Structures are given as C-alpha cells and as structure tokens.
Amino acid sequence: MVSLTFDDGWKSHYTEALPILRYFNVHGTFYVISRSLNESNFRFSLRPSEGFMTLEEVEDMASEGHEIGAHTRSHPYLPRLSPLAQLEEIELGREDLDELGFAPTTFAYPYGGVTPAGMAAAERVGFTGARTVMKGLNDNSTDPFLLKTFPVEEHTSLAEMHGWIRHAARTNSWLILMFHEIAPAQRLKRMGFRYGTTPAMLETALSLVYQAELPVVTVEEGLARIGLGAPLHAGIRYR
C-alpha cells in the first residue's frame, strides 16, 4: 500500500495537488502547521510561493475524506528545544487543530527532527504514529513513531520512484511518499526550492501506483491496516 503525505499546508496543496487526487479518486494526508491557519502573515524558513492554505480550504479537504495531520504549532526544529518545549509545540499544535474540528491522529516531525522526547511527546498527547524523513519502507516491525518515507523532490527521477513502488509491491510493504510544494517547474526554479516537485510528477507517481495495483491509504488508515502496536516511549521528564 501507498500513502501520499503533504507537509506544511502550502496553498499549492489545494490548488495543484487536490485536483489530481480527485482525478485519481484517492485521499492524502496533509500535515498542517496550526499557526498557519490562525495567522495570515505566518512564515517560517521554507516560505511557500503563494502562502498557506486557508482554514476554509483545509476544511474542504477534510470534508472530502483527506486526513489532516499535525505538524506542530510553529514548525521548529525539535532537537534544538528542551523536552518541555518539544511537548508544548506538539501538544499545542494538536490542540489548535482539535479546536478547529480536525481531530488529528498522526504527526510529522518538522524538518524530520526526531528526538526521544519528541517521540514520547507525540505518543503522550495521543497520536497513533508519526512520520519522519528517514528513507525506507514500513512493515509490521516498524516503530509507529518512526515511520519511514521517500521524498519526491525537484530532482527525484522516474526510475527512483518506479523502484520504490516496485519494491513495496514485491515485499508487501507500506510506502509513504512525502511532498512539499507542488508547483510548475519554472516557479520551483524561480524559488530555488529543491524540496518541491511538479504536478506532473505527482500525476506520474499516482499512475505508477495504479499500474502496480497498490491501494492508496491515508497514514491513519495505513497504521490500522498494518496493525502496528504503539510502543511506550517512556522515561522522558518534561519538568
């Protein structure tokens, strides 16, 4: 099975990615920074070219069955924070989304910054799993708070993506793909943003998944299907 994850809540997720997901009749998981929904001038180091999605746009996605996951309140690099500050960022990000009616069940670490305190905090506040940026496939031996992924970026080749999908099909593993900005190549070049990819590449990914006859599931659904039990990440003192 395959999951499509989209980080940060960029406007292009709504304008470029959503129509493609609709065409293929599949659902994605969108990891949203909660402050981006409450502050019109919110910015962080990876600035999207057209801003972030509005609350109404995220609500529209959720109403169509897409998963809205949490990505902290302000997108800090967690390893630079104290254990207490990590807990607060993760907890407040979830509470913000809860208050807006989204009830997120999964989480993605900003910049892929994983720490024992962050893992414990994600479990403590009630998430069932968390996605990293560590490359690889997932199976029933994977720690649900260390879910692996493959990034689809500006320089990702068709051969690479085809290889990930074939390997997942051959090994009956769970492939999670990670996307950031979805924009035309000229815009990505103008931004100098190597983490983005084009709408055509997203279409190609879904075409390859369709050809491989792999089901597309949200991360929440994938965790349930693969039957991952939640380990206890204990021993962290927050105060």
The answer to whether residues 95 and 122 touch, using CB atoms and an 8 Å cutoff, is: no
Instruction: Indicate the CATH number for domain 2-226.
Output: 3.20.20.370
Using only C-alpha atoms, the chain has a radius of gyration, in whole angstroms, of 17
Residue holding tokens 């992924």? 149
Predicted local distance difference test score (pLDDT) of residue 40: 62
**Closest to 97 (Cα-Cα) out of 30, 150, 177:** 30
pTM: 0.92
Six-digit token string for 55: 């609350």
| Beta-ladder partners of 2 | 175, 216
Task: Give backbone dihedrals phi and psi of 128, rounded to 5 degrees, phi first.
Answer: -95, -15
Which distant-in-sequence residues (6+ apart) come within 8 Å of 60 by Cβ? 14
pLDDT tens for 111-160 read 999 999 999 999 999 999 999 999 999 999 999 999 999 999 988 999 99
CA distance 232 to 112: 20
Domain boundaries, the chain: 2-226
Tokens of 213: 């006859």
Element (H, E) at 122: helix 116-124
With beta carbons less than 8 A apart as the criterion, state whether 50 and 12 touch: yes
Instruction: Write out residues in the chain with pLDDT < 50, as ranges.
Output: 238-239
Establish how many alpha carbons lie within 13 A of residue 191's alpha carbon, considering only the half-sphere containing its beta carbon. Answer: 21
Would you state the pLDDT for residue 239?
47
DSSP code for 214: P
Contact indicator for 145, 119 with CB cutoff of 8 Å: yes
Report pLDDT for 237.
Answer: 52
Predicted confidence at residue 39, as pLDDT, reads 64
Backbone angles phi, psi at 67, to 5 degrees: -80, 130
pLDDT, position 223:
96
